[in-house]
Amino acid sequence: MRVCVIGTGYVGLVTGVCLAHTGHDVLCVDNNEEKVKLMRSGQSPIYEPGLSELMKKNMDEGRLSFTSDLGEGVNHGDILFIAVGTPALPTGESDTRYVEAVARGIGSHLRTGYKVVVNKSTVPIGSGDWVRMIVLDGVSERQKQEGTTADVEVAFDVVSNPEFLREGSAIYDTFNPDRIVLGSNNQKALDMMQQLYTPIIERKYADDPSLPPVPVVMTDLSSAEMVKYAANSFLATKISFINEIANICDRVGADVKQVANGIGLDSRIGQKFLQAGIGWGGSCFPKDVSALIHTADDYNYEAQLLKAAVEVNNRQRLMAVEKLQQMLKILKGKTIGLLGLTFKPDTDDLRDAPALNIIEQLNRLGAKVKAYDPIISQTGMRHGLSGVIVETDPELLADGCDALVLITDWDQFKNLNYSKMAKLMHSAVLIDGRNYLDRKHLEEAGFQYIGIGH
């Protein structure tokens, strides 16, 4: 099928590359010429394991190309994905101006033939109908400019198709989804989407192709939009829940890791997303939970549980600093080393990362902050970072520190030379903000080890 993906941010690029890989003819559009140039040269503008390789392969095999010309994209695709950003405004609402601009642009380039316009961006509930209106606005604006009559045949339908991919395992998640959600009030559009996803539904590119086909959930437009918010809000709340239990564990002397295992084996609860620590961050959870709270507010409903999940999370980020105070007492003049900066491993993403709040609070208390992160230290990317010295290796980081805090559960942090690092420090204290390291191993290396509820 001929597909156009508009917006080559995280979601757009991964979607475009993966759909090309399943055999479709994909043209990705981005209005950033520099980015288009970079992608045309076979380079991915984002760090995601396996993405550049897959991108190059599909470009070489002629199924994937890039343009900055929206008209060319709209012409090319029978299915047009809108995958531009919907960042949170300071109020918590989503900023939908990019979606609006793209929808209007699609309208202004729509000619004859039937198209499916797919909302892949996480948009406020009710956006499907709104996108339809904006596309139609775009159509009439063009017709006015061209002096054509309003009865030129323009046929399209809008589908909401939320994505659930996680940074760091985006390609795996795309080829091995738990479900595919398609929301539309039109059967023809739903049928085309089902056809588009057939190779994925049949698990042709899955790790285990013998599993039964991927369930396809077909809903109306608003329900599909709500599924995305509800899923992310549930997962964020689940983490806040286990973090609350961890804080109580700390006080009563229980171990949250054992508790999580004990409750997670109940199949109604499940083992996943019960890892206690310094809380959730990133580009999705904080934005989506706030947006849902805001939507509820608009309809005169106070989402108390979701608000509490956010409050627990904000407090949880500073739990690492509280533990440093318990260990070191006065933090003024002390040097604290952070292991990891990104909001989770296998990404270079610092958006709403707990590290940012921790650095700010440590600075406020007069501590000197250093950090080592496997990706940030390498790439030199410092977007949004201030008040921290980024070191190039873990031993340089440890040198002269009064304590280390593990911020991100990067795999390579399991096997650092901790005994050497302990000797380089003023005092060998380690706060494990992800309950990730082995206490015994760290204690043998000479550290005083402190977990979160563990």
Which active-site residues does the annotation give?
Answer: 284
Cβ 260 to ligand UDX, closest distance in Å?
Answer: 8
Give the number of residues in contact with ligand UDX, rule: CB under 6 A: 20
Q: Would you state the structure tokens that stand for residue 390, as one six-digit string?
A: 């980024």
Which of 98, 175, 285, 410 binds ligand UDX (CB under 6 A)? It is 285
Structure tokens at 148: 């054509």
| Interaction of residue 165 with ligand UDX, rule CB under 6 A | yes
**Structure letter (DSSP) for residue 62:** T
- Which residue among 54, 70, 80, 274 contacts ligand UDX (CB under 6 A)? 274
Would you state the structure tokens that stand for residue 368, as one six-digit string? 């000197």
Q: Is 250 a binder of ligand UDX (CB under 6 A)?
A: no
> Taking Cα atoms as reference points, which of 207, 173, 163, 200 lies closest to residue 48?
173
Q: Is 239 in the site for ligand UDX (CB under 6 A)?
A: yes
What is the spatial distance between Cα 356 and Cα 405, in angstroms, rounded to a whole number? Answer: 13
Stretch that binds ligand UDX, among 143-151, 165-173, 393-401, 411-419 (CB under 6 A): 165-173
User: Which of 58, 94, 275, 361 lies at the binding interface for ligand UDX (CB under 6 A)?
Assistant: 275
Cα separation, 254 vs 134, in Å, equals 55
3-state per-residue secondary structure call for 253-302: CCCHHHHHHHHHCCCCCCCCCCCCCCCCCCCCHHHHHHHHHHHHHHCCCC
- Binding to ligand UDX by residue 164, rule CB under 6 A? yes
Closest CB to ligand UDX among 120 and 132?
120
Question: How far apart (Å, rounded) are the C-alpha atoms in residues 433 and 289?
Answer: 22
Nearer of residues 89 and 231 to ligand UDX, judged by Cβ: 231
Taking the C-alpha atoms of residue 5 and residue 26, their distance in angstroms, rounded to an integer, is 7
Q: Which two tokens stand for residue 11?
A: 């979601």
- Can you tell me the distance from the alpha carbon of 239 to that of 33, in angstroms, rounded to the nearest whole number? 39
Residue 42 CA: distances (Å) to CA of 26, 45, 250: 15, 10, 50
Nearest to 8 by CA among 41, 42, 44, 59: 44
Q: Rounded to the nearest whole angstrom, what is the least distance from the CB of residue 274 to ligand UDX in the complex?
A: 6
Tell me if 12 contacts ligand UDX by CB under 6 A.
Answer: no
Range in contact with ligand UDX (rule: CB under 6 A) among 102-110, 148-156, 276-284, 321-329: 276-284
State the maximum Cα–Cα separation within the chain, in Å, rounded to a whole number.
Answer: 80
What is the closest distance, in whole angstroms, from the C-beta atom of residue 286 to ligand UDX in the complex? 9
Task: Write the binding mask 294 to 333 for ligand UDX: x where contact by CB under 6 A, - elsewhere.
Answer: ----------------------------------------
Strand, helix or coil for residue 340: coil
Q: What residue has token string 């961890």? A: 246
Stretch that binds ligand UDX, among 67-75, 99-107, 160-168, 200-208 (CB under 6 A): 160-168
Q: Which is nearer to ligand UDX, 235 or 245 (CB)?
A: 235
For the segment 193-232, give every residue that binds ligand UDX (CB under 6 A): 232
Position 282 contacts ligand UDX (CB under 6 A): yes
336 close to 369: Cβ distance less than 8 angstroms: yes
Closer residue to ligand UDX (CB): 87 or 113: 87
The conformational region for residue 126 under phi > 0 = left, psi -120 to 50 = alpha, else beta, is left
Instruction: Determine if 391 is a binding residue for ligand UDX (CB under 6 A).
Output: no
- In whole angstroms, the minimum distance from the beta carbon of 163 to ligand UDX comes to 6
Q: Are 337 and 403 in contact (CB under 8 A)?
A: yes
Query: For strand 335-339 and strand 368-372, is the pairing parallel, antiparallel, or unpaired?
Result: parallel
Closest approach of ligand UDX to the CB of residue 278, in Å:
7
> If binding is defined by CB under 6 A, does position 66 make contact with ligand UDX?
no
State yes or no: residue 453 binds ligand UDX (CB under 6 A): no
Q: Which of 323, 344, 351, 370 binds ligand UDX (CB under 6 A)?
A: 344
* Residue 281 contacts ligand UDX per CB under 6 A: yes
Q: CB 78 → ligand UDX: shortest distance, Å?
A: 26
Is 284 a residue that touches ligand UDX (CB under 6 A)? yes
Examine residue 2 and tell whether it contacts ligand UDX (CB under 6 A): no
Burial (CB count within 10 angstroms: exposed 0-12, middle 13-18, buried 19+), residue 253: exposed
Residue ranges that bind ligand UDX, judged by CB under 6 A: 163-167, 232, 235, 239, 273-275, 277, 279-282, 284-285, 343-344
